[in-house]
Amino acid sequence: MTKPLRIALAGLGTVGGGVVKLLDTNAALIERRAGRSIEIVAISARDRTRDRGVDLSRYEWVDDATELSARDDIDAVVELIGGADGPALTLARTTLARGKAFVTANKAMVAHHGLELAAAAEQANTALKYEAAVAGGIPVIKGLREGAAANVIGHVYGILNGTCNYILTTMEKEGRDFAEVLGEAQALGYAEADPSFDIDGVDAAHKLSILSTLAFGTEIDFASVAITGIRHVIAADIAEAAAMGFRVRLVGFAEESRKGLFQRVHPCLVPLDHPLAHVSGSLNAVVAEGNFVGRLFFEGRGAGEGPTASAVVADLIDIARGEYGPAFAMPVTSLARPGAAAAGERRGRVYLRFTVADRPGVLAEITAAMRDAGVSIGSMIQRGAQGDGHVLLAFVTHVCPERAVGDALDRLEGSQSIVGKPMLMHILDV
């Protein structure tokens, strides 16, 4: 009789509870697919008394999660604690050092320490799995690492944060402003009490840096991701975008070229005929363009108990089958170091929104700055005076170097006609 895969589970929040439920509910099917049963032996979390809606009395409780890796009756450890460092990282290091397989949903830890952990897994001839770290239940890690392994990937991009997508699409449907919708998202559990990692784009940047490594065979370089969140998107931006045939989405975009690796998370205007424009609510989606396979489009729920638990257990099934392989599709020593590509020479269209004083000459001042910087205007919308005596001016440029747009904004710095900081969003033209 084949021995079961014996696992320890560290972290019993929403996802941890989901893993227990999934292993219980689909036990027979999982055993058939894995070739053996997957059994939880020990668990660890901060609070023993919390009701998690599942019977945990069957498992041995360990107060210190870092002790799980030392147990002789454990073959693999699942880490669902979270955090780039601290107990999660200690557990990862000790587990791999002891030659045990390690599964995590921790995108921050993989983005910051993935190369170290992948090298440790290779040295110990064991598995580091992290399907649940990017886009929840969408099998995008497997898709890039295995399904598209024979392709040169031109670029990879997508909607990588469900909280931001929920906020933006709700603003789009209901015409409400950011702060109001964020409060509602927090009340519904779509956003954390401190939503900074989500709305400031950091969560999406963690995921993008991981996707870049898989897509291009480059070392993880989270530090070079240019990050702008959605805090300053207003309802008027979404309305203006709609009037010009776009929808606003927070998009993570990466590509490798002879100039280096370019990675950016930024609110973008997405044309209505692009599939990302129709990804709504808390859904995630990832697009990869392969030179032989063409466009690959992955869409689904990017977070939550069921989808994330599904990805964790899929990794455990791989481990039970003995399917290991390098964490980033090739040995760490084979990953390239392309360096970061500067954004200035990139060419594209951008959306610019100004809040300005309602007086003669302001439009001429802005357009003169754009002319002098070499920025050509493709379209413009002007909204009438607000109650505070200000008007909104929105522009979409023709294709131009990004440095030219930066030059135009520099020329307008300190203008007495402009109220606050202009809003810049890139047009997604891929």
Catalytic residues: 207
The C-alpha atoms of residue 235 and residue 126 are separated, in whole angstroms, by 50
Per the CB < 8 A criterion, the answer to whether 150 and 292 are in contact is: yes
User: What amino acid is encoded at 326 in this protein?
Assistant: P
- The number of angstroms, rounded, from the C-alpha of 12 to the middle of its chain's C-alpha atoms is 23
Integer CA distances (angstroms), 199 to 165, 196, 228, in order = 10, 5, 9
First to last CA, the chain: 53
Task: Quote the crossing angle between the two packed helices 235-243 and 162-174, to the nearest 10°.
Answer: 70
**Hunting for tokens 């995008």 — which residue is that?**
140
Q: Which two tokens stand for residue 16?
A: 């941890």
In terms of DSSP H, where are the helices of 202-251? 202-216, 235-243
Task: Quote the crossing angle between the two packed helices 14-25 and 27-34, to the nearest 10°.
Answer: 80
CB atoms within 10 A of CB 201: 27
Identify the DSSP state of 342.
P
Pairing of strands 226-227, 418-427: unpaired
User: What amino acid is encoded at 130 in this protein?
Assistant: Y
CB neighbour list of residue 241: distance below 8 Å, 6 or more residues apart: 247, 248, 269, 351, 425
Phi-psi region of 325 (alpha: psi -120 to 50; beta: other; left: phi over 0): left
Residue 188: is it exposed, middle or buried by C-beta count within 10 angstroms (0-12/13-18/19+)?
Answer: exposed
Closest CA to 374 of 400, 337, 392, 339: 400
